[in-house]
Structure 1
Amino acid sequence: MRAIQFVNNEFSLNEEAGLPALGSGQILIDVHACGICGSDLSAVKGSHRFCEVMTAASYPLAQYDPEQPIVLGHEYAGVVAEVGPDVTDFAVGDRVTGLGLAVDMSTGLPKIIGYSNTYHGAFGEQIIVNTYFARHIPEGLSFEHAALAEPLHVGEMHMQQSGLTADDSALVVGCGTIGLGAVAAAKARGAKLIIASEPSAKRRELALKMGADIVVDPTVEDPVERFNSESQSRGLIDGGQGGGMLIAFECSGRKGMLDWMLRNLPFDSKIQVMAAPFEDETIIPAIGQVRRMVVNFGHGTYDKAYEAVLDRLAKGEIDADAIITGRVDLSGVADAFATLRQPDEHVKIMVFPRGLDSAAKVDADV
């Protein structure tokens, strides 16, 4: 199969040797669309550091040998090409999307496709995933729109874990795809006030479309000061004593952001960390303690977050076309990664491993 390999800080278009034989509960998928994820950007920025952090975290799902080629990409949508043993809920020809996870048959451990030297990601023509993590694409939903469900569902998942209610307000810092997902999820839960902080004008515009009440350019205006003035004038916050609290969703992944939030958010606020840097970070825990802050890195239960977002996409409640700001085939992947380093003009760039027209043709035949 044709795929974009990444190794030694370079992308190259190659013919891959192929994937392992299908194991129990696995399906082979012809990929028709795959988004470039923020974690893919982190892996490309520093592959060795990425692997060091995953190893330090004892997180086998994303451990690989950075000296050997990988094929990135896990925000996929495509068509089932083959089914493995014990598969009953999917058939050849089904349109599918979902979480990019495959159980490594040699170890029994799940792997995120793309962060594995064996289970290639979806910047190639085919992938293997376990059906437990796959979902049928709703009728009428295109491949590229279905592929957005993976990054957007991160916002829904963290929104549920944060415990946000209609009494609370949300401050979303960083409006890439997961930040926009957080805005949409906060809107769906009826948050009293949603402020989105983002330096990119295009992304601020999208945050408004997704449900933000106020957008702030943090290079011009302090988002916490804006929240404080708005909450006072509207009578929204009561120190967490029954009148709601501020929940800040850190979606920028910028070094120093957690420290800034601990120092500047109102007392009794909660910080939901959705994106984090791979660099060393310094905080003073006592600051968070005396200001009675809660920091959640993703702990807590959630229910059908992926399904909720897939349903919103199918119903047209999310402006998917506005989120997708670029489209490339495999030959354009390297340039797309370079472009996303300066994200003023882009939010989500979609990769079409079988050509820019392939997904539309298959969609039209369904």
Structure 2
Amino acid sequence: MTTPVNMRASILEHTRSLIVADVPVPALATDQVLVRIAAVGVCGSDVHYFHEGRIGDFVVEEPLILGHEASGTIVAVGADVSADRVGERVSIEPQRPCRRCRFCTAGRYNLCDRIEFYATPPIHGAFAEYAVIQDDFAHSVPDSISDDAAALMEPLSVGIWSCRKAGIAPGTSVLIAGAGPIGIVIAQVARAFGATDIVVSDPVAERRELALRFGATRAIDPINDGIPSAAFDAFIDASGSSIAVKQGIGSLRGAGIAVLVGMGADDVSLPVSTIQNRELVVTGVFRYANTWPTAIALVASGAVDLDALVTGHFGLDDVEAALESTNSPATLKSMVVPS
């Protein structure tokens, strides 16, 4: 096909203001592929940028295309990429590390200081008809995987990275705070990794019911049921709640691991004596690295169901509605379909 010159995109002009406009199709570097976008998941970070215009140190200072959970079809390739890739359906790993720093060469490229990540200012994302990505970060997916599921390999990668950092293995007991999309994905991954006691806490009854459908062995109300003390090998926070973090750390047995995933307050007081006396490990999650092969295998095998997470589809003209839909407890994953 002839590569188009312009494309439609949903653009965040400033806080709470989106427009759809024609913009130039991104130019291809020699090591990149051009992907016609098929589906893009709405992430909590997109909602934060829309409402607040920032996440921590990342501030929207000029118009930005949001969206980083993306799939599509390769329609053009750079000079150093095999033309045989044209026509491949792919899941996009939406980041470009420098590949030279000490983090990149150690395989921890998510910590690269020079990384460029979709929809993180000033890098444009995928709420558009086309996007470019490095050849090896356009991961081929089998036809058995839908466009929606291929896009949702990105949040699945967050779940995989979280469970790896938490040391989830056969027989592990884990408490997951928050039954939103990431919490639900983490529960599915924990089950696939062999955890036998998967407890999800959430104050919203509808969310707890969803958790039981997607891998949780138990779902509890942290307000009325309380959180047991010293009962779990691992705790993963997917809520961003300061209270949930403190309760979760207290729920760990000796030598347990707490993994903080949810976006919440920049500063939280922690139960230091508990951490010291039980020799707990408290760590964070910043995206992921080397997760896509595992993600694709989990979905292709049926161990993780991403299609069941999708609760709505929206066009480029309705991105604001897609973002606002996340306010409903019944919404797990809203998808933007650019064309």
TM-score (norm 2): 0.84
Give distance in 2, aligned partners of 1:12 and 1:182. Answer: 31
Q: CA deviation at 1:278?
A: 4.8
2:75 equivalent among 78, 81, 96? 81
Structure 2 counterpart of 1:131: 135
Structure 2 counterpart of 1:113: 118
Structure 2 counterpart of 1:180: 184
Give distance in 2, aligned partners of 1:75 and 1:314. Answer: 18
Structure 1 counterpart of 2:313: 327
Counting matched residue pairs gives 318
Q: CA deviation at 1:315?
A: 3.2
Give distance in 1, aligned partners of 2:291 and 2:307. Answer: 21
1:274 equivalent among 233, 240, 261? 261
Give distance in 2, aligned partners of 1:167 and 1:329. Answer: 43
1:187 alignment partner, SS class: helix
In the alignment, structure 1 residue 71 sits paired with structure 2 residue 65:
yes
Q: Please show how residues 163-202 of structure 1 align to structure 2 within 5 Å.
A: 163-202=167-206
Structure 2 counterpart of 1:240: none
1:331 alignment partner, SS class: helix
Q: Please show how residues 138-149 of structure 1 align to structure 2 within 5 Å.
A: 138-149=142-153
Q: CA deviation at 1:9?
A: 1.1
2:299 equivalent among 313, 329, 332? 313
Structure 1 counterpart of 2:275: 288
The 8 Å contact of residues 192 and 304 in structure 2, kept in 1 or not, is answered as: no
Structure 1 counterpart of 2:242: 255
Q: CA deviation at 1:181?
A: 2.1
Letter of the 1:98 counterpart: I
Which consecutive residues of structure 1, in runs of 5 or more, have no partner in the other structure?
A: 55-62, 229-244, 355-366
Q: CA deviation at 1:219?
A: 3.5
Q: Which moved more, 1:125-134 or 1:206-215?
A: 206-215
Q: CA deviation digits over 1:121-151, x for unaligned, max 9? A: 1111111111222201212221012111110
Give distance in 2, aligned partners of 1:252 and 1:6. Answer: 25
Give distance in 1, aligned partners of 2:258 and 2:198. Answer: 15
Which consecutive residues of structure 2, in runs of 5 or more, have no partner in the other structure?
A: 1-6, 99-112
Structure 1 counterpart of 2:333: 348
2:24 alignment partner, SS class: coil
1:30 equivalent among 31, 36, 42? 36
> Residues 223 and 260 (structure 1 numbering): CA distance in 2 closer, same or farther, change over 3 Å?
closer
Give distance in 2, aligned partners of 1:221 and 1:326. Answer: 32
The 8 Å contact of residues 271 and 295 in structure 1, kept in 2 or not, is answered as: yes
1:219 alignment partner, SS class: coil
> Residues 270 and 113 (structure 1 numbering): CA distance in 2 closer, same or farther, change over 3 Å?
same
Give distance in 2, aligned partners of 1:82 and 1:109. Answer: 26
Structure 1 counterpart of 2:102: none
The 8 Å contact of residues 235 and 249 in structure 2, kept in 1 or not, is answered as: no
In the alignment, structure 1 residue 93 sits paired with structure 2 residue 87:
yes
Whose helix fraction is larger, Structure 1's or Structure 2's? 1
Structure 2 counterpart of 1:235: none
> Residues 83 and 120 (structure 1 numbering): CA distance in 2 closer, same or farther, change over 3 Å?
same
The 8 Å contact of residues 199 and 216 in structure 2, kept in 1 or not, is answered as: yes
The 8 Å contact of residues 158 and 182 in structure 1, kept in 2 or not, is answered as: yes
The 8 Å contact of residues 40 and 67 in structure 2, kept in 1 or not, is answered as: yes
Letter of the 1:23 counterpart: A
Give distance in 1, aligned partners of 2:163 and 2:279. Answer: 20
Q: CA deviation at 1:19?
A: 4.2
| C-alpha RMSD of the superposition | 2.6
Q: CA deviation at 1:100?
A: 0.9
Structure 1 counterpart of 2:324: 338
The 8 Å contact of residues 7 and 66 in structure 1, kept in 2 or not, is answered as: no
> Residues 139 and 131 (structure 1 numbering): CA distance in 2 closer, same or farther, change over 3 Å?
same
Runs of 4+ in 1 over 6 A off after TM superposition: none
Q: Which moved more, 1:169-178 or 1:192-201?
A: 192-201
1:138 alignment partner, SS class: coil
Structure 1 counterpart of 2:233: 246
Letter of the 2:311 counterpart: T
Q: Which moved more, 1:5-14 or 1:247-256?
A: 5-14
> Residues 204 and 89 (structure 1 numbering): CA distance in 2 closer, same or farther, change over 3 Å?
farther
2:157 equivalent among 132, 153, 159? 153
Structure 2 counterpart of 1:57: none
Q: CA deviation at 1:24?
A: 2.4
